[in-house]
Amino acid sequence: MEIIHLTEINSTNDYAKTHMAELGNLTAIYTDRQTSGRGRLTRKWIDTGDENLYLTIVLKPFTDLNPIYPNFTQYLSVVLSMVLEEDYKLTPQIKWPNDVLINGKKLAGILAEGTTKGGKFLGLALGIGINLNTTIDNLNQIDKPATSIFNETGEHVDKDIFLEKLLSKFCLLYHEFICNGFISVKEYYESKAQFIGEDISINVLGDIHKGIAEGITNEGSLILKESDKTNTYYIGDIL
């Protein structure tokens, strides 16, 4: 993987999208400070200091839009969870579709954005923000429950070592994921999806649906048993 390190940028996803044509497949861009980090829709990703990770991976595995593109965020949530579990002895949870939580609080958020030019697909910017060393004071400034590895373990996390572990794991499982899609990580994903079997509400583009989360399809969609029938949702947020 080629790695680009920036000291400050508005958003690593914006950087990747702007330079998509000249960036190669599997280029990782990370920055120490991110001044306008974005979440999904109009939401923001808060910069909580330069000891945390703001990273975008440029992916160009196919020359066209491909059905597995929506699963890249889930793939990255699995890769991160494995690193947290194996190397940091934490117990991660995945909140569909791709938030990574520890003890019910958000540790990382993921945002994938495709770039096209003149109708041609150029590549995917797969962005992730991970709170490595955020202190409790900064966590309390976030509008929803949030945590960091430091907050959970009391131990400082070396950003470079963490990045290396994350990118190594990403590459290790990548080929199988590209060949087989979400099913290659489905079992692990489900083992971390503590919402399965629970009564949940989801927001799908402003519509609220309530039901029991029955599981995840082979394509990564949520199966929700609502009062009258069972539906599957491929986008949305668990509330």
Q: What is the DSSP letter of 34?
A: E
Axis-axis angle for helices 183-192, 159-180 (nearest 10)? 130
Round to whole Å and give the CA distance between 201 and 27.
37
Q: Which C-beta is closer to ligand BT5: that of 1 or that of 183?
A: 1
Q: Are 128 and 110 in contact (CB under 8 A)?
A: yes
Q: Binding residues for ligand BT5, how many (CB under 6 A)? A: 26
Considering the rule CB under 6 A, would residue 115 count as an interface residue with ligand BT5? no
Considering the rule CB under 6 A, would residue 74 count as an interface residue with ligand BT5? no
Considering the rule CB under 6 A, would residue 81 count as an interface residue with ligand BT5? no
Interface region with ligand BT5, contact rule CB under 6 A, candidates 20-28, 53-61, 75-83, 168-176: 53-61
Considering the rule CB under 6 A, would residue 38 count as an interface residue with ligand BT5? yes
Least CB distance to ligand BT5 at residue 234 (A): 15
Q: Residue 226 phi/psi, 5° resolution?
A: -95, 175
Count of helices and strands (H, E) across the chain: 6, 12
Q: Which C-beta is closer to ligand BT5: that of 2 or that of 176?
A: 2
Round to whole Å and give the CA distance between 110 and 80.
11
What is the contact surface with ligand BT5 in residues (CB under 6 A)?
Answer: 11-13, 37-40, 43, 45-46, 48, 54-56, 106, 109-111, 127-129, 131, 142-144, 146
